[in-house]
Amino acid sequence: MNTMTRGNEHRAGDSEWAVETHGLTKRFGPNVAVNNVELRVPRGCAFGYLGPNGAGKTTLIRVLLGLTHANAGTMSLLGFDVPKHRDLALSRVGAIVDEPRFHSHLTGRQNLELFAAHREPAARERIGPALERVGMSHRANDKVSKYSMGMRQRLGVATCLLGDPELLILDEPMNGLDPAGMHDMRDMISALVAEGRTVMLSSHLLDEVERTCDAVAIVDQGRVIRQGSISELLSGAAVILQVECSDNEKANTVLGSGNLSVQVTSGPSGLDITLPAGAGRDLIAEVARVLMSNGVDLYRLQPTQTSLESWFLEVTSRLGEAQ
């Protein structure tokens, strides 16, 4: 009977999504920190949960990990329903919430021993390799009270690795890291993903998420407003053409009076022509043709993709205007 149950639970864990939520809601009195969130994190990728401070990123993570209960909705981790099969789900999850905290009177190794004791017996054998992997072997026997913030972050990642996790959930992992530490953390996340693990990280550092993640969800005021791969999301964003030409004024008049639905503004080194979202190469060629046919000489015409940051600001400001 137990075997059957166990087997069924294993099958329950076979899902294409590492994290899946439906209508997840968490309220603190009148405040809705997580508002009807529909989230799907694909397996085997680095996924960014992106939003400004106070958007509800950490609260969502706390709900997913069973640190606090949801008021409504369903969720699953690695295909296991949470909180029903929370123990099974979390057995292959490593997580840092808020910031890594440890018993400061213990050494790094002793802290890991304490955490490993709460996992399966094999976790104790992973302490040495985990410390080595995060580059903390040489300081493992120092008390945590002597660690810098960056070292604590690394020790936090080592804690996550004790369970040989399929899914890592990292809350603001770049916090407190210097540029070299951020670079190392990026490399670490890439390496973990390359091993087939899923890394879900929350951050308000858009640049870091853009560099680290394959897919993102944008959250604002507790709601997921966009999600998908970064390339997909940005393909829906506007493209800006930077133009250097012989006569800026004439170019502005010609483009404004034509049938092209573009926006022209003066930039520091010429004109910035904003093409509508989804515009292809044909429109770029049409812009060049119109200018040339009206006697405007082109010296430079460079399409630039909107960065995640400007797209994020664009999306969130649109949301703000709508509200």
Partner 1 sequence: MMTSSGTTRVVRVETGPPPNDHRGSWLPNGAMITKRFMELRRRRGLMIALAVVTIGLPSIFLIVRLLAHAFAPKSYGPAGGYDIFTSLVSGVLFIFGFIVAAALGCTAGSIDLQEGVFRHLVVTGRSRVATYFARIPAGLAIVVSFVAIGYGIVCLVCSFAAPTVLSYDGVNVPAGLSQRALDTWASSHAEEVICRFNFGFENGPPSASFSSVVQNVPCNNGQGRHIKIVGPPGSQGSSSQPTQAEIRSAAVTIANLDYSDYSKQFLSPSDSLMIRTGLWIELEAAVGFIVGLGLGSLTGQRTISVILMIVLEVILTPIFLRAHIPHMINLQRSVVGVATDHLGPSSIPIAGGGGQNDQANLISETRAWAAIVVAAWVVAWTALGAWRMVSRDT
CA distance 203 to 173: 8
Q: Considering only residues 25, 36, 68, 307, which one is a binding residue for partner 1 as defined by CB under 8 A?
A: 68
Q: How many residues make contact with partner 1 (CB under 8 A)?
A: 60
Three-state DSSP class for 149?
helix
Q: Which is nearer to partner 1, 30 or 121 (CB)?
A: 121
Between the CA of residue 156 and those of 15, 89, 111, 229, 287, what are the distances in Å?
27, 20, 10, 27, 52
Per rule CB under 8 A, is residue 178 in the interface with partner 1? no
> What's CA 192's distance to the chain center, in Å?
15
Please give the residues from 3 up to 32 whose contact with partner 1 meets the rule CB under 8 A: 9-10, 13
Q: Considering only residues 92, 211, 223, 250, which one is a binding residue for partner 1 as defined by CB under 8 A?
A: 92
Per rule CB under 8 A, is residue 119 in the interface with partner 1? yes
**Helix and strand element counts for the chain (H, E):** 12, 14
Give the interface segment with partner 1, choosing from 64-72, 251-259, 269-277, 313-321 (CB under 8 A).
64-72
Q: Considering only residues 3, 5, 118, 280, which one is a binding residue for partner 1 as defined by CB under 8 A?
A: 118
Per rule CB under 8 A, is residue 34 in the interface with partner 1? no
Q: Considering only residues 8, 31, 74, 104, which one is a binding residue for partner 1 as defined by CB under 8 A?
A: 104
Q: Which is nearer to partner 1, 20 or 184 (CB)?
A: 184
Q: Considering only residues 50, 97, 271, 275, which one is a binding residue for partner 1 as defined by CB under 8 A?
A: 97
Q: Considering only residues 2, 3, 5, 194, which one is a binding residue for partner 1 as defined by CB under 8 A?
A: 194
- Kindly report the CA angle at 20 between 17 and 22, in degrees rounded to 5? 150
Contact 68, 234 (CB under 8 A): no
Give the interface segment with partner 1, choosing from 47-55, 86-94, 247-255, 260-268 (CB under 8 A).
86-94
Beta bridge partners of 201: 48, 170
Q: What are phi and psi of 117, to 5 degrees?
A: -65, -25
Contact 156, 190 (CB under 8 A): no
Q: Which is nearer to partner 1, 90 or 245 (CB)?
A: 90
Beta strands in the chain (DSSP E): 17-28, 31-42, 46-50, 72-77, 80-82, 93-96, 167-171, 198-203, 215-220, 223-229, 239-245, 263-267, 270-275, 298-305
Cβ at position 22, least distance to partner 1 in Å: 22
- Contacts with partner 1 by CB under 8 A lie at 9-10, 13, 62, 65-69, 86-106, 110, 113-122, 124, 133-135, 154, 159, 163-164, 166, 184-185, 187-188, 190-191, 194-197
